[in-house]
Every structure is written in structure tokens, then in C-alpha cells.
Amino acid sequence: MKSHDCYTAKEAFTFPLICLVCLAFNIYWGCSDVWPVGAIVGTAFFGIFTSVYVYKYSRFGRDFFRIDANGITYKEWSKTTTLKWSEIAKCTVCYRLSSGGGILFHRVLDITLLSGAKRPKSISVRLSGKYCRNKSVITAIEQFGGSEVYDSQTSQSNNKYVARILFAVIIGIIIIFAYSIIQANHSKGIIPNKETSLLKMALNTENNQPEDFSQFIEKFHSDTIFQEQRLAKSLVLFDSKINVQFPHGGDKYDAYYSWEDKDVITMLHRIDIDRLKPRCHTKIMHISDTVVCENISDPDNNRLYFLEFSKQENKWLLTQLLVN
């Protein structure tokens, strides 16, 4: 606060109010959620800060500093110090790096005393946390102490030093942020490949597992596309009603028959239909772990169908089709 006689800056209530709001929030959180650990820790932490400020304000009042014709007066807790202009050599108003407190830098008024003064050679008065601006403080020093008291060159040098550090920090944050984005995009590109690999492994595992015959035979007679896929390349075909020639001394199953693929599909389609007739009888015979035969008899047409299935590479294939 500036007047004709002095310039006064009092302690701000910003941080105490933040502590009070956080304390109230943690108390509300604890009362509404049976006091979890976070609410207990938060209440204790902000409660300590709030209690300290309540004690300070009730016992000693607010900190302040004042610039007038006599000099510079500042109060911290219960201690009030007055520096006369005759003791002050130079003053600088600048930003300085913080050693703690959760902030990167703070504002200070550095006062350099004359060698003959019975005090420390340099005194720093913290401006951060007080209702004041740097420009107003500088104007008050030049007004009441004289323009030669304020050291503008040193102030600018300190400010440039802090600005360079702040710039380096911002660049570092940008680099870290950009690197995290690149890594995230890279991970997104890798994850699908991993998922694809896992899917392929799952499919390979599924393909390597033995195929259940009961499920296979049900699908074989209900899905024509699946049926065509499960015909063995060396499929043996025989129909007793077709007049064929077979080698001398050989078996009729050794003969060559001129069945075409469409004839096989037609015959299988007919078998699928006959198989569903009420009087049709189906018998499954497990010859071995890799060979299973299916006998289908159709009394209405006096037909007998013999289908032999063999397991090849964990898949069941139709290897013989005999019609009698």
C-alpha cells in the first residue's frame, strides 16, 4: 500500500487460505467416508499449517515491510527490524532460486549495508507472499532513499540468471513430454504386434490340439463348405450300383473309379438328407485313435453308406466313401 509518507506491503493470506480450504476438504472427506488413511494424513498435514498461522496471527499479527523517509522496516513474526538509509549502501529487487518450499524461485529485496554498520553485511527480505509488486518496491526505494540506492544492474543480472534456469527447465519439460509421447506412440505400434503374436500362438495351439470327433461329425453333415474342406486327396470311392472293372486277383476297392468331385458332393448331400430320416440308422465305430467309421443304413431306399474318417495332422478327413 503506497501513500505520500510511506510504502507498506503486508503478508498475503493466499497460502493460509489454501491450507484452510484443504483442511476443510479433508475433514469433509473423512466424515463422509469413515476416515480413510488419505483423509487422516491430509487433515493432520494441513491442520498443522493452519494451526501455526492461527497462532501467528493471534499472537504476533501479520508480517510486513515498510519503506519511508527514515529507511526500511520489516517484521517477521515477533521481530521488527529497522534499517536507516544512512546504513544502506545498495538495494536490489530480484528473483532468486528457492532451496525448498515447493516453488522454483521467489522474490527478494536484498539490502547491502555499509561497512561501518553494526549489522550483517547483507540482509534479504522476502517479497513473495506479500501484497506488493517489484516495480512498486523499486519506485518506493528510489523515492525515499534516492535513485543511487537501487542497484538496477545487479537486479537485472540476477533476473537474467533465473530466467536462463527457468528456460532450461521449460526446455527439459518439453523434451521429456515429447519423448513420452514418442514412447507412447511406439508402444501403441508394438502392442498390436504382440497381440497378433499372441493370437497366432493361440490359433496354433488350438490347431495343434486333437479335434473332437463328435463335434467334427456333427459339423461335417451340417456344413457343406466345411464338408468340402475335409475331403482327403486320396479319397477312395465306391458305389456297388456302378459297373466297374478292377484288376485281376485284386479287390474291388483297388479299382479306379471315375468319380468327379461334384459326384462326391452330390452323394454326400444325399447322405446328409437320408441321415435325418426317422427310420435311418447311424452307427459310429471307433477302429483306433486315428480311424473312425460311420455306417448309415437307409431301409426306405435299401442303401448302406460306409464313411471312413482318418485323423491327419490333428484333423479328421473323409478317406473312404463306400455306397452299397
Give the pLDDT confidence score for residue 100 in this predicted structure. Answer: 61
pLDDT band at 60 (very low <50, low <70, confident <90, very high): very high
| pLDDT tens readout for residues 146-197 | 989 999 999 999 889 989 998 999 999 999 999 999 988 877 655 455 555 5
Q: Which of 297, 263, 262, 291 is nearest to 279 (CA)?
A: 297
Q: Alpha helix (H) ranges present in 33-121?
A: 37-59
Which cell is 133 given? 509488486
Q: Classify domain 213-323 at the CATH topology level.
A: Nuclear Transport Factor 2; Chain: A, (3.10.450)
Rounded Cα distance, 92 and 111, in Å: 7
268: number of Cβ within 10 Å:
20
In the block, cell 523517509 appears at 69
Q: Which of 55, 117, 107, 108 is nearest to 82 (CA)?
A: 117
Instruction: Pick 235 or 156 by higher pLDDT.
Output: 156
User: Which of 95-99, 102-106, 107-111, 191-195 is predicted with the least confidence, judged by mean pLDDT?
Assistant: 191-195
8 A C-beta contact, residue 7 and residue 1: yes
User: Which of 30-34, 100-104, 269-273, 290-294 is predicted with the least confidence, judged by mean pLDDT?
Assistant: 100-104
Element (H, E) at 233: strand 231-239
8 A C-beta contact, residue 32 and residue 153: no
Q: Is it the case that residue 126 has pLDDT exceeding 80?
A: yes
Supply the mean pLDDT for the chain: 84
pLDDT band at 255 (very low <50, low <70, confident <90, very high): very low
User: Which of 70-79, 97-106, 211-220, 254-263 is predicted with the least confidence, judged by mean pLDDT?
Assistant: 254-263
Give the pLDDT confidence score for residue 108 in this predicted structure. Answer: 93
Beta-bridged to residue 79, according to DSSP, are: 76
CA 136 to chain centre: 47
Rounded Cα distance, 128 and 131, in Å: 8
In percent, how much of the chain has pLDDT > 70? 84
Q: Alpha helix (H) ranges present in 209-324?
A: 213-220, 224-229, 261-275
Q: What is the mean pLDDT of residues 1-7?
A: 79
Element (H, E) at 296: strand 291-298
Which cell is 122 given? 547483507
Give the pLDDT confidence score for residue 256 in this predicted structure. Answer: 46
| pLDDT tens readout for residues 304-316 | 899 999 998 889 9
Rounded Cα distance, 86 and 69, in Å: 11
Amino acid at 285: M
Element (H, E) at 283: strand 281-286
Sign of CA dihedral 107, 15, 98, 84: positive
8 A C-beta contact, residue 293 and residue 280: no
Beta-bridged to residue 25, according to DSSP, are: none
- Residue ranges, comma separated, of all CATH 3.10.450 domains in the chain are 213-323
Output the pTM of the full model: 0.51
Element (H, E) at 181: helix 152-208
Which cell is 305 given? 453308406
Q: Is it the case that residue 259 has pLDDT exceeding 80?
A: no
